Structure 1
């Protein structure tokens, strides 16, 4: 999911960056010699980190072999045993980012929309990017057995970087709370390098490589986190947007067998979504083949592995990105590969093929507003119907689509940003499209997961309605990052990682979610910042969207 951020969130994002990034060749200023540095022993190597007063940081540690050369477009391979001492002082490379240009009309209409992707990654990108960052309390040591939080970044599966997020914020707060945790931020392959999809990819068994990278990082944590003072049996996987969708997919991967790799999942703006078969991405695969000169090859997948990186990158940059007209109907996304993801994720949820671990999942109130900014040329009911059919439900009947239009009417008062009356209608159809986008990809899948699983595994859910007065955006997608990295939600996360329950001594009580009392912890602007509300808004519309999605996975 994308990182289209108003000016406010860009400022917040700047504060989330790791301010300790060091120029190449410069050792940490606090270290006069290696004697002063924190170390861990990995296999036969000593790894030198550096101390940031309350925490120790180990940056850019490779967790798999470089996925380049002949390993491009193949499953991640475990790294060889560590045999040479090294300094983990600098971020490793970010995975290649797909360039994307914001549409000119929304950029002019909505102040603050950046002109290119806004992930703000601090590290340069390169194919050799499967690395992770670890932040631990300064007094952590083998045997401390601290809970571990693994962060999976968002960015529409086309951009993002672990180096953009400051794990020190999480660990410092956990220390202050007396419930210390270890933070791990991981990089994973993106765009066509991580989510190539076609009949050729399916036959080769190399689908969903970005998810497979994440899984390999989880395995690395199981093997090595004890050396840092972590407990491999106390791992929580946590993500936002594409990262949250990833968490949702790990819940249903391997038919719900999580291999003991994690004991809890925390999803911010993302759940198991109703994607279809991996062959549905054939047109984008064929585009890459044509753009890279591989059309005449007898084995086009093997040809793509041998294409020079610059040519491959140039081709993927020409493929549809999150700012493209199709928006949330992403060209590069997880799909059903038949091996790792064996069926439509929501059908796996229905069948009970879900990792039976405690979960937290929540959304922002106006998830769809930023995704509707590329659809300003849709001005009539007929155009909206055609758009939904082409990009979301191509196999749906005309009557199904007519009913959908009835549930999502062309009425500014019913659209998103919600509860703003006639305000925020950038075009005749904008608020309507925003409402549909937010529900089809975020709100309805979240509610469906909870309805199916909250009676079987401990579940909590939230709704963020902060920044509601932001013109045209409302409580936009990504705005809850403020809560989780520097606000109340952070304390709930720390409690959850420690105790498998978000509730603590000082927080507003967060009731479990269940079908007879579907309650949401709700974040508001104003004098009552945290309250509890019912998850019963747009019930009929979301039930219908779920029904259509199950019959027509997109």
Structure 2
């Protein structure tokens, strides 16, 4: 279903608009195209500029007055792709006992969603990918009751960049509560560099040059008049200024002074966020699928600086003290483990821990829960990846909902029912324990001890974040201006 008008032509780089009313019945059997990603040639089957579609799964024969809890999922993809499109919500609905309505959707990414310049601000909007998500939340408020959902009981949930988006919506507009959701779940919250607008003028200028709009008096009009292929050919990554290698994530949200009024860490430190029940979690080895397979300390520093380009020797020297040489891992060079740990902590784990601490400081400990997913997979172990980024997804959505490693169908299968029940319980009652699996341990809250639930086969338990990780996270938090987080 369309939740917004096609963001094409004059609606490029503008806030999404409501779709035109349409009489009669619309065929909603087939999924709509997803949004065009970075470094994708056009045309590509299943991707298009006209991409703002949503999907709803609700129990059969649900009536409009059912008022079921709503699970609104924001997919990931590093703000450069729609990486988890159209995941099947049927298993979530079934495991909930037909007590949940599940919603997912597409949003603009890459150049289409995060082109930034003061010239965009003057004739359009910044961070339109986030504004797409915001309009989807408003769509749910208006329409979800038609599917049996309760607009007054919506839980937003994001994975990776979707999890980063959840963190940004909690702090959006300085923490203004527009009553769009009652709770939030974040699976591997993603904080890349999120620069201020003046630092991104070079991206805009490069885009103008690539599409032939530099000398046009109406540069935005020129961009809006170009065909899709011309724009998509410019939707590619480049090294950050002064760097030689491409970052993993080139187009990202920016500090626009509106929806994102400051670096996220600062907003959370100031208490500028919505105080609702939250559940945040990460995997043990978040950086392993991203880290370069580096052999030397200098290569470690270069990789980190390619992704966080304001880093200087003032920060990388103490970083090397925090991340010394670690024991080797299969199929990788000697400095890979340290690089993986550093990137995983600064980009995913420490943002989650820091946000949880902000909720504890705001006296929200009793309604704040965290987890570390530590379920081993033989293939991951053999390849040296450990427990990688968002590996737990099939244990949240169900093994038939998304791409699923074989271990979740065999020796790791017990984790699936355990985790699904906790997560669905949070969606239903804003507490993971209310409808947990029979006999499952209590999931304690985060609290002042930084306590999180560890998912590990035959060893599920609570743990406190160790002193080493606390110290490393404090280091990253202390250089927020440099990291632009």
- After TM superposition, the structure 1 = structure 2 runs for residues 243-392 of structure 1, keeping only pairs within 5 Å, are 243-270=162-189, 275-317=194-236, 319=238, 325-328=245-248, 330-372=249-291, 375-376=292-293, 378-392=294-308
Please state if 1:74 is matched with 2:20: no
CA contact (8 A) 2:237 2:250 kept: no
CA contact (8 A) 1:190 1:210 kept: yes
For 1:451, the equivalent position in structure 2 comes to 357
Please state if 1:497 is matched with 2:413: no
Question: How many residues get paired?
Answer: 452
CA contact (8 A) 1:162 1:185 kept: no
CA contact (8 A) 2:155 2:185 kept: yes
Offset at residue 442 of structure 1 (A): 0.7
Offset at residue 313 of structure 1 (A): 1.1
Cα deviation, 1:276-310, whole Å, max 9, x if unaligned, reads 31333333222221111111112322221111101
TM-score (norm 1): 0.77
CA contact (8 A) 2:304 2:343 kept: no
In 1, Cα distance between the equivalents of 2:382 and 2:429? 36
In 2, Cα distance between the equivalents of 1:266 and 1:366? 20
Cα deviation, 1:407-457, whole Å, max 9, x if unaligned, reads 011x132xxxxxxxx323612321111111101101111111111112432
In 1, Cα distance between the equivalents of 2:177 and 2:334? 46
In 1, Cα distance between the equivalents of 2:336 and 2:483? 24
In 1, Cα distance between the equivalents of 2:277 and 2:442? 17
SS across alignment from 2:222: helix
For 1:87, the equivalent position in structure 2 comes to 27
For 2:396, the equivalent position in structure 1 comes to 484
Residue 153 of structure 1, aligned match among 57, 75, 99: 75
In 2, Cα distance between the equivalents of 1:191 and 1:369? 23
SS across alignment from 1:150: strand
Offset at residue 163 of structure 1 (A): 4.2
CA contact (8 A) 2:329 2:384 kept: yes
**Pairwise CA RMSD:** 2.3
Please state if 1:541 is matched with 2:463: no
SS across alignment from 2:386: coil
CA contact (8 A) 1:273 1:345 kept: no
In 1, Cα distance between the equivalents of 2:391 and 2:203? 31
- Greater mean alpha carbon deviation, residues 332-341 or residues 503-512: 503-512
In 2, Cα distance between the equivalents of 1:290 and 1:445? 36
SS across alignment from 2:58: strand
Cα deviation, 1:15-48, whole Å, max 9, x if unaligned, reads xxxxxxxxxxxxxxxxxxxxxxxxxxxxxxxxxx
Gaps of 5+ in 2: 399-415
For 2:110, the equivalent position in structure 1 comes to 191
For 2:454, the equivalent position in structure 1 comes to 522
For 2:152, the equivalent position in structure 1 comes to 233
In 1, Cα distance between the equivalents of 2:84 and 2:193? 27
1:549 to 1:129, Cα distance in 2 relative to 1, 3 A = same
1:164 to 1:132, Cα distance in 2 relative to 1, 3 A = closer
SS across alignment from 2:432: coil
Cα deviation, 1:183-214, whole Å, max 9, x if unaligned, reads 11111011100111223224445111111001
Please state if 1:474 is matched with 2:386: yes
1:67 to 1:320, Cα distance in 2 relative to 1, 3 A = farther
CA contact (8 A) 1:346 1:550 kept: no
Please state if 1:442 is matched with 2:348: yes
In 2, Cα distance between the equivalents of 1:551 and 1:327? 16
For 1:35, the equivalent position in structure 2 comes to none
In 2, Cα distance between the equivalents of 1:250 and 1:232? 17
CA contact (8 A) 2:155 2:183 kept: yes
1:473 to 1:547, Cα distance in 2 relative to 1, 3 A = same
In 2, Cα distance between the equivalents of 1:92 and 1:142? 25
In 2, Cα distance between the equivalents of 1:64 and 1:320? 33
In 1, Cα distance between the equivalents of 2:387 and 2:215? 49
Offset at residue 315 of structure 1 (A): 1.7
In 1, Cα distance between the equivalents of 2:70 and 2:255? 29
For 2:442, the equivalent position in structure 1 comes to 509
In 1, Cα distance between the equivalents of 2:390 and 2:347? 14
1:386 to 1:88, Cα distance in 2 relative to 1, 3 A = closer
SS across alignment from 1:231: strand
1:219 to 1:401, Cα distance in 2 relative to 1, 3 A = same
TM-score (norm 2): 0.88
In 2, Cα distance between the equivalents of 1:447 and 1:201? 34
CA contact (8 A) 2:192 2:252 kept: no
